């Protein structure tokens, strides 16, 4: 079952991301901060529940598109996590579909993410650069920078994607070069 996240889910969501990403506090801390950050668009947070246990989570949070006509309020889809023992069962796909439907129903024109084009490309996303968007960081491989254009998208809405400050503060933008 997919439903809106509640405050009672926070501990289990933290555990899902800790286990799914295996990077300690970075992703769980990002989620905690994004939940309370004031922004033009309220965050949308959904959980996947199996037998009364939270096994997956997706978060949409406010971002901006620096378009030629004006700044456009958009969403960033990050993170998406599923507990390891529940991966490869369609839970992430269902969370993604639910999140995109929710964003579309709110009139959001675009949802951006960094991720595998193989996975996200068959789930409503496409390469962002080839359709007119600029990445916010040189550390994001072009293939990983993706966008879902929703019903409210208009052709003039192109430009540079801008993450909220929280992503920068938690160092959650782009890939890191371990040799650097």
**151-175 pLDDT tens trace:** 999 999 999 999 999 999 988 898 7
**112-122 pLDDT tens trace:** 999 999 999 99
Q: How far apart are CA 43 and CA 160, in angstroms?
A: 21
Residue 23, pLDDT score: 73
**2-21 pLDDT tens trace:** 999 999 999 999 999 999 88
Distance between first and last Cα of the chain: 43
Please report how many Cα atoms fall inside a 13 Å half-sphere around the Cα of residue 149, on the Cβ side. 14
Assess contact for 84 and 65: CB atoms under 8 A: no
CA dihedral for 55, 61, 66, 68, sign (positive or negative) = positive
Please report how many Cα atoms fall inside a 13 Å half-sphere around the Cα of residue 156, on the Cβ side. 6
pTM equals: 0.94
**32-77 pLDDT tens trace:** 999 998 888 899 999 999 999 999 999 999 999 999 999 999 999 9
């Amino acid at each position: 079952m997919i439903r809106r996240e509640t405050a009672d889910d926070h501990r289990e969501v933290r555990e899902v991301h800790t286990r799914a990403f295996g990077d300690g506090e970075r992703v769980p801390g990002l989620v905690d901060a994004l939940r309370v950050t004031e922004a033009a668009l309220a965050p949308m947070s959904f959980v996947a529940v199996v037998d009364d246990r939270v096994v997956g989570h997706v978060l949409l949070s406010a971002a901006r598109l620096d378009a030629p006509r004006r700044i456009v309020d958009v969403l960033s889809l990050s993170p998406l996590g599923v507990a390891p023992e529940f991966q490869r069962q369609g839970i992430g796909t269902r969370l993604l579909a639910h999140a995109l439907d929710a964003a579309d129903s709110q009139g959001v024109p675009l949802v951006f993410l960094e991720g595998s084009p193989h996975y996200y490309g068959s789930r409503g996303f496409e390469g962002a650069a080839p359709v007119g968007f600029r990445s916010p960081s040189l550390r994001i491989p072009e293939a990983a920078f993706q966008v879902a254009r929703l019903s409210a998208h208009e052709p003039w809405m192109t430009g540079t994607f801008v993450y909220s400050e929280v992503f920068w503060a938690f160092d959650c933008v782009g890939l890191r070069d371990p040799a650097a």
